[in-house]
Amino acid sequence: MGLVNTMNIDFSQGLYSGLATPVSSLNFPELLDYESARDLIASAGESAPLLGVNGEGEPVSVCLDEDSPHVLVNAGSGGGKSVILRSVAAQMLARGSRAVFLDVKRHSHRWAKGLPNAHYAATLPEIGNALISLGMEVHRRNEVVEAFPGPIEEAPVGPRLVVLFEELNATMTQLQALDRKLPRGSYTAMDAFRDIMFMGRAAKVHIVAVAQFASTAALGGGDIRENFSTRILARYTKQAWTMLAYDCGLPQPSPEQKGRGMVCRAGKARQTQFLYLTEEEAAELARGGHRPERRLPATVRAHRRARAGRRALVASRGSL
Ligand SMILES: Nc1ncnc2c1ncn2[C@@H]1O[C@H](COP(=O)(O)OP(=O)(O)O)[C@@H](O)[C@H]1O
Ligand SMILES: [Mg+2]
């Protein structure tokens, strides 16, 4: 009773007054599927695939020309790494890029097998050979850039090449073991990897790599990690944050929702709901190019409009 009498009931004044409401409680969609992201995908730039949306529904993308020639995706098992690679690859293929999958697990991107501009390396020797070809291609393209009198970005280097590198940690360790069996002085897959990481930007050769834990040792050197200027973290530990997002302030807790994580770049971590494409949708997008809107039969369109109307009504009731 004493408590009630002395309690300050003017809630407008107090310890919390003047503080902003945390933005992490904003409206993230539970799922960002192909249907709802179609327009955002269509309006993404040729070199800037859509990654997802932020809590205000705004697109979060990564520009491979300007922000970050290479992207690192770090997440625990089941954290959505392959789904992120799938949506980046499908969008890049839709825009005329070539994609090279390096996948020791062999089946992470079945959807891409047989696509005209996708190449798949699924064994360690194949991955080694693919990296060497890519490294040599980077050198060839850099000679083209060097000889070209105009602006670097207009040099006729050929189609953009995106390398989807699964399981970087395991692959690197095994490649290093194989390298010891090669003749001394060979141009190895590790050399090629470094060359792509350091010279890929002008050559339009980009690596999107997946690691469960991207330690310096796993990447083959701290200087290599610096070339991944965009780092995506999902299902991460405090230790992973300290390693990869140290420039983004104090560790923020890992979001628990499916397909949710952080896109870290230039000292800022943006919470993002990542795009989810099914394997069929990814293949369709990659094959057909981006289509802003599928022309559906009139009856289906009417049905969808009615359903959207009902949903809006339910949502507005829910918010009262
Ligand atoms: N963006 C997303 N939205 C919704 N569900 C997702 C998303 N990303 C992943 N998932 C779910 O998590 C599962 C595991 O994702 P996956 O990319 O295979 O994980 P990882 O490669 O990190 O082991 C998917 O099969 C899917 O069910
Ligand atoms: Mg995976």
CA–CA gap between residue 206 and residue 69 (Å, rounded): 6
Higher pLDDT, 173 or 41: 41
Pairing of strands 230-234, 32-33: unpaired
Q: Tokens 């940690």 identify what position? A: 169
What tokens were used for 16? 């919390």
> Mean pLDDT lowest for which of 178-182, 219-223, 310-314?
310-314
Where are the strands (E) in 84-197, listed by range?
98-102, 118-121, 161-165
**Is position 249 annotated in a ligand binding site?**
no
Angle between helices 34-43 and 279-288 (to 10 degrees): 30
What tokens were used for 113? 């097998």
Q: Name the residue type at position 263.
A: V
Reported pTM: 0.84
pLDDT at 299 over 80: no
- Which of 73, 128, 121, 126 has its CA nearest to residue 100? 121
Using a 6 Å cutoff on CB, does residue 50 contact ligand 1?
no
**Is position 75 annotated in a ligand binding site?**
yes
DSSP category for residue 20:
P
Using a 6 Å cutoff on CB, does residue 288 contact ligand 1?
no
pLDDT at 124 over 80: yes
Task: Work out which ligand 1 atom sits closest to the CA atom of 274.
Answer: 1
222-250 average pLDDT score? 92
pLDDT of residue 23: 56
> Ligand 2 center to residue 145 CA distance, Å?
35
Is the C-alpha dihedral spanning 128, 134, 135, 137 positive or negative? positive
Using a 6 Å cutoff on CB, does residue 80 contact ligand 1?
yes
The CATH class, in words, for 23-289 is alpha beta
Contact (CB, 8 A) for 55 and 28: yes
- Could you tell me the pLDDT band of residue 22, with boundaries at 50, 70 and 90? low
- The number of angstroms, rounded, from the C-alpha of 245 to the middle of its chain's C-alpha atoms is 15
Higher pLDDT, 274 or 10: 274
What tokens were used for 133? 């070809």
User: What is the maximum span of the chain, computed from C-alpha positions, in angstroms?
Assistant: 86
Where are the strands (E) in the chain, listed by range?
32-33, 50-53, 59-61, 71-75, 98-102, 118-121, 161-165, 205-211, 230-234, 260-265, 268-276
Contact (CB, 8 A) for 241 and 175: no
Contact (CB, 8 A) for 207 and 70: yes
- Which of 167, 195, 159, 201 has its CA nearest to residue 63? 201
pLDDT at 292 over 60: no
**Is position 77 annotated in a ligand binding site?**
yes
CA–CA gap between residue 228 and residue 71 (Å, rounded): 5
Mutate to test the pocket of ligand 1, among 83, 86, 276 (most ligand atoms within 8 A of CB): 83
**Tens digits of residue pLDDT in 33-68:** 999 999 999 999 999 999 999 999 999 999 999 989
What tokens were used for 27? 């409206």
